[in-house]
A and B are shown apart, each in its own frame.
Chain A
Amino acid sequence: MLLAATDLSKRFGGVAAVRRLDFHLDPGEILAIIGPNGAGKTTVLNLLSGVFPADEGRIVLDGTDITRLPAEDRCHLGLGRAFQVVQPFPEMTVRDNLMVGALFGARQRSLAEARKRTEEVLALTGLSGRAAMPARDLTLAGEKRVEMARAIATSPRVLLLDEVMAGLLPQEADEMLAVVRAVRETGVAVLFIEHVMRVVRDLADRVVVMDFGEKIAEGSYRDVTGHPKVIEAYLGTEETGGA
Chain B
Amino acid sequence: MRWAGPAALVVALLVPLVPAGGYQQYVVQVATFVLINAGVALAWDIQARTGQLSLAPAAFFGLGAYAYTIAALRGVPLPVAFLLGPLVAGAVSLGLGVVTLRLQGLYFAIATLAFAEVVKVIFKELPLDLTGGAVGLTAPPLLGGHQTGLYYLGLCVLLLVVAASLAVRHSRLHYAFTAIRQGELTARVLGVRVVRTKLLAFVLSASLTGLVGAYATSRLFFVIPEDTFGIGLSVTALATAIFGGVYTTAGPVLGAIILRSLEEGLRMVLREGYLAVYGVILMLVILYLPGGLVSLWNRRARDAAGGD
A binds B: yes
Q: Please state if B190 and A111 are interface contacts (CB–CB under 8 Å).
A: no
For A145, list chain B residues within 8 Å (CB). Answer: none
Determine whether A37 belongs to the interface, using a CB cutoff of 8 Å to chain B. Answer: no
Determine whether B274 belongs to the interface, using a CB cutoff of 8 Å to chain A. Answer: no
Q: Please state if A92 and B191 are interface contacts (CB–CB under 8 Å).
A: no
Determine whether A101 belongs to the interface, using a CB cutoff of 8 Å to chain B. Answer: yes
Stretch at the interface among B99-107, B140-148, B176-184, B256-264: B176-184
Partner of A72 from the list B171, B193, B304 (CB cut-off 8 Å) is B193
Determine whether A148 belongs to the interface, using a CB cutoff of 8 Å to chain B. Answer: no
> How does the 8 Å CB contact mask read for A77-121 relative to B, with 1 for contact and 0 for none?
000010100010111110010011101111000110010000000
Q: Provide the bound-state CA to CA distance between A96 and B176, in Å.
A: 11
Q: Please state if A72 and B192 are interface contacts (CB–CB under 8 Å).
A: yes
Q: Please state if A96 and B191 are interface contacts (CB–CB under 8 Å).
A: no
Q: Please state if A89 and B306 are interface contacts (CB–CB under 8 Å).
A: yes
Q: Please state if A100 and B304 are interface contacts (CB–CB under 8 Å).
A: no
Q: Which of A49, A83, A104, A105 has the most CB of B within 10 A?
A: A104
Q: Please state if B306 and A100 are interface contacts (CB–CB under 8 Å).
A: no
The residue on A at minimum CB distance from B307 is A91
From residue A48, how far is it (CB to closest CB) to chain B in Å? 11
Q: Please state if A100 and B189 are interface contacts (CB–CB under 8 Å).
A: no
The residue on B at minimum CB distance from A160 is B189
> How does the 8 Å CB contact mask read for B150-190 relative to A, with 1 for contact and 0 for none?
00000000000000000000011001101100110111111
Number of A-B pairs, beta carbon distance below 8 Å:
81
Q: Please state if A100 and B171 are interface contacts (CB–CB under 8 Å).
A: no
Majority SS at the chain B contact face: helix
Determine whether A51 belongs to the interface, using a CB cutoff of 8 Å to chain B. Answer: yes
Determine whether A71 belongs to the interface, using a CB cutoff of 8 Å to chain B. Answer: yes
Known contacts A89-B178, A89-B182, A91-B182; A96 and B188 CB within 8 A of each other: no
For A81, list chain B residues within 8 Å (CB). Answer: 189
Determine whether B194 belongs to the interface, using a CB cutoff of 8 Å to chain A. Answer: yes
Determine whether B277 belongs to the interface, using a CB cutoff of 8 Å to chain A. Answer: no
Q: What count of chain B residues pass the 8 Å CB interface test?
A: 24
For B179, list chain A residues within 8 Å (CB). Answer: 89, 92, 100
Q: Provide the bound-state CA to CA distance between A101 and B192, in Å.
A: 8
Q: Please state if B186 and A103 are interface contacts (CB–CB under 8 Å).
A: no
Q: Provide the bound-state CA to CA distance between A154 and B187, in Å.
A: 12
> How does the 8 Å CB contact mask read for A121-140 relative to B, with 1 for contact and 0 for none?
00000000000001000000
For B18, list chain A residues within 8 Å (CB). Answer: none
Determine whether B272 belongs to the interface, using a CB cutoff of 8 Å to chain A. Answer: no
Determine whether A215 belongs to the interface, using a CB cutoff of 8 Å to chain B. Answer: no
For A70, list chain B residues within 8 Å (CB). Answer: 188
Determine whether B303 belongs to the interface, using a CB cutoff of 8 Å to chain A. Answer: yes
From residue A135, how far is it (CB to closest CB) to chain B in Å? 9
Q: Provide the bound-state CA to CA distance between A90 and B307, in Å.
A: 12
> How does the 8 Å CB contact mask read for B92-130 relative to A, with 1 for contact and 0 for none?
000000000000000000000000000000000000000
Q: Provide the bound-state CA to CA distance between A70 and B187, in Å.
A: 12
Determine whether A20 belongs to the interface, using a CB cutoff of 8 Å to chain B. Answer: no
Known contacts A83-B186, A96-B175; A75 and B305 CB within 8 A of each other: no
For A184, list chain B residues within 8 Å (CB). Answer: none
Determine whether A58 belongs to the interface, using a CB cutoff of 8 Å to chain B. Answer: no
From residue A224, how far is it (CB to closest CB) to chain B in Å? 29
For A50, list chain B residues within 8 Å (CB). Answer: 188-189
Q: Please state if B188 and A92 are interface contacts (CB–CB under 8 Å).
A: no
From residue B248, how far is it (CB to closest CB) to chain A in Å? 13
Q: Provide the bound-state CA to CA distance between A75 and B306, in Å.
A: 23
From residue A69, how far is it (CB to closest CB) to chain B in Å? 11
For A105, list chain B residues within 8 Å (CB). Answer: 190-191
Within 8 A of A (CB), among B288-308: 302-307
For B192, list chain A residues within 8 Å (CB). Answer: 72, 100, 104
From residue A85, how far is it (CB to closest CB) to chain B in Å? 11
Q: Provide the bound-state CA to CA distance between A151 and B191, in Å.
A: 10
Determine whether A19 belongs to the interface, using a CB cutoff of 8 Å to chain B. Answer: no
Within 8 A of A (CB), among B177-223: 178-179, 182-183, 185-194
Partner of B306 from the list A72, A83, A92, A101 (CB cut-off 8 Å) is A92
Q: Provide the bound-state CA to CA distance between A134 and B304, in Å.
A: 7
Q: Please state if A89 and B186 are interface contacts (CB–CB under 8 Å).
A: yes
Q: Which of A70, A72, A83, A101 has the most CB of B within 10 A?
A: A72
The residue on B at minimum CB distance from A101 is B190
Q: Which of B186, B191, B303 has the most CB of A within 10 A?
A: B191
From residue A90, how far is it (CB to closest CB) to chain B in Å? 6
Q: Please state if A93 and B186 are interface contacts (CB–CB under 8 Å).
A: no
- Give the top 7 A-B pairs by smallest Cβ distance, nearest first: A75-B191, A104-B191, A89-B182, A96-B305, A71-B188, A105-B191, A100-B179
16 pairs across A/B with beta carbons < 8 Å? A72-B189, A72-B191, A83-B186, A89-B178, A89-B179, A92-B178, A92-B306, A93-B304, A96-B178, A100-B175, A100-B176, A100-B192, A104-B192, A111-B172, A134-B303, A154-B190
